[in-house]
Structure 1
Amino acid sequence: MYKHEKDQKKQTQSDDSVSCTSGTTISTDIVSRINPDKGSKCVSAVNDNEAWCGCDGDLVLIDIHDNLKRKIQLNNIQIVFDIAVTTKGEIFVTELDGTNIKKYLQDDRCINIADTKAYETQGICLTSVQDDILVCLYIHNNSKVVRMTTAGQMKQTIQKDKQQQLLYKNPLYVAENINEDVVVVNVKGEYRYKYPDSSQSTYRIKRCCGIACDNTGCILVSDCGNHRIHQIDMDGRFIQFIFTQQHEVQCPLGLSIDNKGQLWLCNNVGNKIQYYTIEQPYV
């Protein structure tokens, strides 16, 4: 995972990881175990009560009491790669192996806002700028992350470093932090930091399937292969494994932080949506 600095902010000078002391854990309560009718790969919280889930062929709006509030049958989309939901209720969808970015409106109408042609659309997220989104675009040896308006107008391309070397091999997921850093799950590249670095083998990620940034600037990383959620600070230093198999995390996929800082997680390869309240503040 790599981070791009929007304004080339100065990196905090530290070589040490922020590791938790023995017994420092986050007390959690699983409020709800929601069972969508189809496996859900990605989730985007609407508020502290509801979230949209991207399932195979459908978008479903569920609440923490396992109620299906709304369902949208997708138009010609077989497998959803990622979703992002605005405060206006607009849902942005990317498709596995697809080349279009679709927007679903509150009346379920679908608008194709962009055709990325040869580039496959992957991760998508909202930004701090109203009506802006970030999208990961993949093509062999020429991948990039783009910033565009919710109407599909291109605003910025993030593709090369100062030496004009390509930053990405395969950008999978993207998020924007509170300091406007763009955080990307990637296979290859150089940014302000890389997590984990070569000295952090203990924290190695085995198949990352999602990232989210909270309102303190911490970054949560879904580590599907190791059945855990990493918590790192905004400078890439490990804090702790915030959720593990002890918290019933099994093959976690997409995740989202709601307006109260609570976690929605596609768990058990998406067969469950679990909603966690955090009783103890982040360390």
Structure 2
Amino acid sequence: MDPWYSAQDVVRCTLCRVSAAPMYCEVCHIHLCKGCEEKHLSDSSKLVHNVVSFEQYLSTLNYPKCRKHPTERCGLHCEQCDIPICAKCISSDKHLGHKQVDIFQNFEDKKEVLQKELQELEESIYPKYQEIASATPVQKADLSKNSKKLTRAINKQGEIWHRKIDTIIQKLKSNVEDIDSKHLVVLNKQEDEITRTISEITQSIADLKKPWDIPTDQLIKHFGSLSALSITTEEQDYSKPTPDRVLLKGVPHVITTIDTGYKELCGVSCLSDTGVWTRGWANNKMKLYNLQGELVKSVQTKSGNIPHDIEVTRSGDLVYTDYIRTVNIVKNTEVRTLIRLQGWKPHSVCSTSSGDLLVVMDSDDWKQTKVVCYSGSTEKQSIQYNDKGQPLYSSGRDKYVSENRNLDICVSDCKARAVVVVNQAGKLRFTYTGPRLFFIKTFTPAGITTDSQGRILTADGDNNYIHILDQDGQFLGFISNCHLRYPRGLCMDFRDNLFVAEYNTGKVKKIMNYI
């Protein structure tokens, strides 16, 4: 039989790889044939070869070669280092004090450990896994059964929910239909009323276009009349308005226009009947003009900042607020600090009939607003909350303040889009948010003032109107025919002439006969 293709083959020579190898070199660990034995022994290397018969090699214990000393065999095993060692390794200091056992004893110990592990695998671990494997199909069947049960329960609950949702949706649809029906009735009624009103207006226009003579007595009714005035020789004090004097009733009209030169005019305050103080945005100078429109003098703020509001006191001095937390007073050309705040920034200021100052101020974090009354530099009263402990005023943005003749404190709150009026004790009297008229845009109050009759006037820049209220907050009418362009600041002289500061034009307009 050909040895290359037989099921069992002889050991071949490691060198020639052809001939059978009856010999073995224990030093080089190679098989040798007779022809290669002599050649291997005559090798010029320094190794001392030990060639024995293959049968002798197989019957002799085969100790492994040392890793450190290739010519040596390892007969011992170092347990600390877990490596085989030879005699040279033992004599070195590296394994000094280490426990050393016979290498074949180490093999036997390891074999015993492996046999124990095999026994544990066969007798304990393997049966357990077999048991788990046999239980898995049962668990899979139970899982499928439970899943089907849960699915049926979910489907059943889903049907219940769907029925409830369908009921709710149907009810909502029914409510929408009811609301539509009710609103349709209201809209139809409103449409009929509007149609009737338009018809009446059309007829009125046609009638007014027809010429006719108006009787003199009817004309007198339209133009009004003057009531009798009592004449006295006693000297009159014109510094205070007479509450019950009769006003000339007629159409409001502008009698004076003053060009202040400000690009954005924010405020105006009357100095008796001789002139008006003005302030503008992005300008740290306050200007005094006479009623002929001539600049009388100009005063710069002490800090160089923009004045946030101005007011003429009862004694004729100018007061202004500065956002560096001060309220300042100007006497002639001298500026001195009257009030210095901490944690609050002054906004608007008003001089009261008693000579006190009302100051609207915001907290440094812009979250609170209050009105504080000062006598000189002393705080007398603080107004911030209503009876329920809720804020009376919104936080931040512009606010203007004025005192009415009944000592009510009136604040126009731009952010809240309202005029808030409290009595002298700080208790809320009413809040005005604008008339309910279709042609009025959003009510945005700005400057506010009051007249000798207790009427309250506030500027509405978005609509270019001046709203007029009575002292109880009832809407009386508008000033809308004076070609106002974004009215901002307001003030009143002792003759009840109204001064309006126009923000966009930088002009002050004096209006008489406003009601």
Q: Deviations over 1:29-85 (max 9, x none)?
A: 322211112243111111233111123211111122111112112222432221111
Aligned residues of 1:100 and 1:121 also touching (Cα < 8 A): yes
Aligned residues of 1:196 and 1:204 also touching (Cα < 8 A): no
Task: State the match for 1:143 in structure 2.
Answer: 369
In 1, distance between residues paired with 2:270 and 2:357? Answer: 16
Shift of 1:153: 1.0
Q: Identify which of 291, 307, 330 aligns with 1:104.
A: 330
Partner of 1:169, secondary structure, is coil
Aligned residues of 1:31 and 1:64 also touching (Cα < 8 A): no
In 2, distance between residues paired with 1:269 and 1:79? Answer: 18
Aligned residues of 1:64 and 1:275 also touching (Cα < 8 A): no
In 2, distance between residues paired with 1:195 and 1:260? Answer: 26
Q: Residues 67 and 138 (structure 1 numbering): CA distance in 2 closer, same or farther, change over 3 Å?
A: same
Shift of 1:117: 2.2
- Is 1:169 the counterpart of 2:394 in the alignment? yes
Q: Identify which of 243, 246, 267 aligns with 1:42.
A: 267
The TM-score with structure 1 as length reference comes to 0.81
Q: Identify which of 341, 344, 348 aligns with 1:116.
A: 341
- Is 1:235 the counterpart of 2:472 in the alignment? yes
- Is 1:93 the counterpart of 2:334 in the alignment? no
In 2, distance between residues paired with 1:83 and 1:72? Answer: 12
User: In structure 1, what residue type is equivalent to 2:490?
Assistant: L
Aligned residues of 1:160 and 1:167 also touching (Cα < 8 A): yes
Q: Identify which of 54, 61, 74 aligns with 2:301.
A: 74
Count of aligned positions: 252
Q: Residues 270 and 258 (structure 1 numbering): CA distance in 2 closer, same or farther, change over 3 Å?
A: farther
- Is 1:32 the counterpart of 2:267 in the alignment? no
Task: State the match for 1:273 in structure 2.
Answer: 508
Q: Identify which of 445, 451, 458 aligns with 1:214.
A: 451
Task: State the match for 1:260 in structure 2.
Answer: 495
In 1, distance between residues paired with 2:456 and 2:482? Answer: 19
Shift of 1:203: 5.5
Shift of 1:204: 6.1
Q: Identify which of 365, 370, 380 aligns with 1:155.
A: 380
Worse overlay, 192-201 or 268-277: 192-201
Aligned residues of 2:270 and 2:492 also touching (Cα < 8 A): yes
CA RMSD of aligned residues (A): 2.4
Task: State the match for 1:11 in structure 2.
Answer: none
In 2, distance between residues paired with 1:204 and 1:80? Answer: 30
Q: Residues 127 and 66 (structure 1 numbering): CA distance in 2 closer, same or farther, change over 3 Å?
A: same
Percent identical across equivalent pairs? Answer: 25
Task: State the match for 1:60 in structure 2.
Answer: 287
Q: Residues 162 and 201 (structure 1 numbering): CA distance in 2 closer, same or farther, change over 3 Å?
A: farther
In 2, distance between residues paired with 1:252 and 1:222? Answer: 6
Shift of 1:201: 7.1
Q: Residues 100 and 76 (structure 1 numbering): CA distance in 2 closer, same or farther, change over 3 Å?
A: same
Aligned residues of 2:301 and 2:307 also touching (Cα < 8 A): no
In 1, distance between residues paired with 2:470 and 2:441? Answer: 16
User: In structure 2, what residue type is equivalent to 1:173?
Assistant: Y
Gaps of 5+ in 2: 1-221, 224-248, 421-427
User: In structure 1, what residue type is equivalent to 2:446?
Assistant: C
The TM-score with structure 2 as length reference comes to 0.46
Q: Residues 207 and 81 (structure 1 numbering): CA distance in 2 closer, same or farther, change over 3 Å?
A: farther
Q: Residues 194 and 48 (structure 1 numbering): CA distance in 2 closer, same or farther, change over 3 Å?
A: same
- Is 1:179 the counterpart of 2:409 in the alignment? no
In 2, distance between residues paired with 1:214 and 1:202? Answer: 27
User: In structure 2, what residue type is equivalent to 1:179?
Assistant: N
Shift of 1:206: 3.7
Q: Deviations over 1:209-265 (max 9, x none)?
A: 2000000000100111111100011111111012x2x31101011010001100111
Gaps of 5+ in 1: 1-22
In 1, distance between residues paired with 2:502 and 2:461? Answer: 9
Task: State the match for 1:250 in structure 2.
Answer: 485
Task: State the match for 1:128 in structure 2.
Answer: 353
Task: State the match for 2:112 in structure 1.
Answer: none
In 2, distance between residues paired with 1:99 and 1:264? Answer: 28
Shift of 1:94: 1.4
Q: Using CA pairs below 8 Å that are at least 6 residues apart, which structure has the higher relative contact order?
A: 1
Q: Residues 208 and 197 (structure 1 numbering): CA distance in 2 closer, same or farther, change over 3 Å?
A: closer
Partner of 2:268, secondary structure, is strand
Worse overlay, 248-257 or 67-76: 67-76
Q: Deviations over 1:73-114 (max 9, x none)?
A: 22224322211112322111013x4421111112x1111111
Q: Residues 204 and 118 (structure 1 numbering): CA distance in 2 closer, same or farther, change over 3 Å?
A: farther
